[in-house]
Amino acid sequence: MAKTSKIKRFNWNIFAQKVTELLKFASGATAAPINAERWEEIIFHALKSMGMKYKGEDPKWITGSHASGADIWIDGLSISAKAGKLNNDKFLTISSYRLTRFSNLEQMKAFIDKEASNFDVYLCCARADQKGKRVYQVFLIPANVFSAQSLSWSKTTSGWQGSNNDGIIVKIVKKMSNQLWVTLPVHLCKKIAEVKLPVGDLGLELSDVLNLDKKD
């Protein structure tokens, strides 16, 4: 209940406006898709421009830490930033931490649920390209959207898979160092922003800097 209250109190409308501006700017500077690290940076600057603080200073962001749990902190809210992939506009898939330190599934499930208590919300930037367009959709997802202990688990050829009646599928993939993959129906995720950019506009600012599009 406390986490839900924190999420509701935050001004996600203003945040969405800031993120939309930054996604457009970042896409003008590179044709490469926005990855997880760049997404963390965009979140940080959006929060900073809103005047958000952490213990009297700028939002806390440990660049490139790749730690499990929260990536960015402000007073009263901690965020796990994820890049994601949309499947047929029905499911959102995100990758998470590796679990090779644990010797069995029970330990992994306990760790997954413990880490979900270390932050309040996922912020996911999912790419959903359309013909001739680069499309980003930003989703807000509560950290407790699922409990690993409550899923029905089975062993698979690639590792383990858990699922529930809500349509959530969680996979632990052995060949990827027991990496955790989470697939969520989009109706469990709140879309707060969408950006559509013509493919021809991606990275144009790099060309402008070097005057590559100008003839002598």
Instruction: Express each pLDDT in 60-109 by its tens digit.
Output: 998 866 667 899 999 999 999 999 999 888 999 999 889 999 999 999 99
- Whether 172 is covered by a domain: the verdict is yes
| Position 1 confidence tier, pLDDT thresholds 50, 70, 90 | very low
- Whether 212 is covered by a domain: the verdict is no
The CB density around residue 199, as the number of other CB atoms within 10 Å, is 13
Please report the DSSP string for 77-116 in residue order: EEEEEEEEEEETTTEEEEEEEE-TT-SSHHHHHHHHHHHH
Closest CA to 81 of 46, 128, 29, 53: 46
Please check the confidence at residue 11 and state whether its pLDDT lies above 50. Answer: yes
Q: How many domains does the chain have?
A: 1
For the segment 14-39, the average pLDDT, to the nearest whole number, is: 94
Instruction: Express each pLDDT in 56-74 by its tens digit.
Output: 999 999 886 666 789 999 9
- Whether 129 is covered by a domain: the verdict is yes
Structure tokens at 31: 């044709």
- Whether 119 is covered by a domain: the verdict is yes
The domain containing residue 92 runs over which residues? 2-207
- What span, in angstroms and rounded, lies between the C-alpha atoms of 47 and 80? 14
Query: 145-171 burial string, b = 16+ CB within 10 Å, else e?
Result: ebebeebebeeeeebbbbbeeeebbbb
- Whether 50 is covered by a domain: the verdict is yes
